Amino acid sequence: MATITLIPGDGIGPEITEAVVKILDAAGADLQYDEQQAGLTALREEGDLIPESLLDSIKTHKVALKGPLTTPVGEGFRSINVTLRQKFDLYQNVRPCRTIDGIKTRFDQVDFVLFRENTEGLYSGFEIFDERNQIADGIARVSRKGSERIIRAAFEYARKHGRKTVTLVHKANIIKQASGLFLTVGRELALEYPDIEFQDRIVDNMCMQMVMYPDRYDVIVATNLFGDILSDLGAGLVGGLGVVPGANIGDGIAIFEAVHGSAPDIAGQGIANPTALLQSAIMMLRHLNQMETADKVETALFKTLADQSKTTGDLGGNNSTQQFADNVIANL
Ligand code: NAI
């Protein structure tokens, strides 16, 4: 039996978490939960945004499932998501984007996995504001070590899952040092993986390519900011943030999370869609080697999503969060 840290989060977090745990239990997942708070909820209840008990729990159990956390824009505290990623050195942000039957999108054969570097780049936290001259500087730190481990993770994933191509995204024509280093390391590593085709794309071109020919992409790897933007673009190609999973993975610890936010506009109404968190939980089950349960939950989820009358409001149905969970359970 695996014990995981369960972080319901803010806003719609607790509602979708309850639905997901219900489904996992019904599917017979071999899991125990150590429930912990983070963010605004933790601040209110425990006086700390990232309580020590949360950090200890993640260190002990090594795997966490996390609901969304509220982060104020442009002021207040630094994003807790970013802090957790840096604290546990979760350098891989993995976002699978796959067409789901029944979810209306412009394309129907999308199936790629995006690896975003999660600890460096413009998100390193090196920002300076010159008050007098009103100039803001942000430093994009890219290291050889940081580039190598994320690009290697992408190649290893491709090899393990029978994927054919790794596409590296950069802007080395303009950002010659930071983006140039990432591309150089990618080209070097590609020589170690002759069985995988390697290509690179400049990020602006890549955006166009992804919306015109998304089925041409397989495994994509990018630095932090480009990866952040492309991963939401990818989500948009397959139905939006409400349906795609996300994982933050390091060499020892992994945090699986819903990639959408805390949706304050619908929080507390019982109408949020738990699909994204459930998809993340399916990734987590595979990470824990509970393959059979993962397949079972995934099949039931896809069957439910394929019938619009069984879905939540955002997908055109009129089921509540808990009714949706019951519909998935009925399909197990
Ligand atoms: P959001 O993702 O919370 O909401 C955007 C829109 O999508 C809203 O209309 C919302 O109702 C809808 N939506 C989101 N998730 C849904 C779901 N599961 N079911 C149905 N509808 C859903 O993004 P927003 O409004 O930009 O951010 C709100 C807060 O969430 C902010 O404080 C932000 O910092 C935080 N946030 C946290 C993230 C995380 O913890 N991973 C990621 C993104 C935002």
Return the best residue to mutate from 262, 318, 324 for the ligand 1 pocket (most ligand atoms within 8 A of CB).
Answer: 262
Q: In the chain, where are the structural domains located?
A: 1-90+240-332, 106-237
Give yes or no on whether 1-90+240-332 and 106-237 have one common fold: yes
Tokens of residue 107, six digits: 């394309």
* Whether residue 23 has pLDDT greater than 80: yes
Q: State the pTM of this model.
A: 0.93
Residue pLDDT, tens place only, 239-288? 988 899 999 999 999 999 988 999 999 999 999 999 999 999 999 999 99
**Nearest alpha carbon, ligand 1 atom 16:** 242
Active site residue 171: yes
Chain mean pLDDT for the chain: 94
- What DSSP character marks residue 152? H
Burial bucket for residue 138 (CB in 10 Å: 0-12, 13-18, 19+):
middle
Q: For residue 226, count other CB atoms closer than 10 A to its CB.
A: 25
Chain centroid to CA 284: 11
Active site residue 204: yes
**For residue 4, what are the β-bridge partners?**
33
Query: Which is the CATH superfamily of the domain at 1-90+240-332?
Result: Isopropylmalate Dehydrogenase (3.40.718.10)
Give the separation between CA 54 and CA 327, rounded to whole angstroms: 32
Residue pLDDT, tens place only, 284-324? 999 999 999 999 999 999 999 999 999 999 999 999 999 99
Atom of ligand 1 nearest to the CA of 277: 18
Gap from CA of 305 to ligand 1 centroid (Å) = 20
**Under 8 Å between Cβ of 290 and 30:** yes
Q: Is 17 in a helix, a strand, or coil?
A: helix
Phi, psi of 123 (to 5 degrees): -100, 10
At residue 310, what is the residue type?
Answer: K
- In total, the chain counts a number of residues equal to 332
Give the separation between CA 247 and CA 249, rounded to whole angstroms: 6
* β-pair type (31-35, 197-202): unpaired
> If pLDDT is split at 50, 70 and 90, which confidence band does 56 have?
very high
* Whether residue 75 has pLDDT greater than 70: no
Rounded mean pLDDT, 138-145: 95
* Whether residue 154 has pLDDT greater than 90: yes
**Nearest alpha carbon, ligand 1 atom 38:** 261
Chain centroid to CA 119: 14
Cα-Cα-Cα-Cα torsion 214, 218, 219, 223, nearest 10 degrees, comes to -20
Give the separation between CA 249 and CA 154, rounded to whole angstroms: 12
Classify domain 106-237 at the CATH topology level.
Isopropylmalate Dehydrogenase (3.40.718)
Specify the residue for token string 């125990």.
32
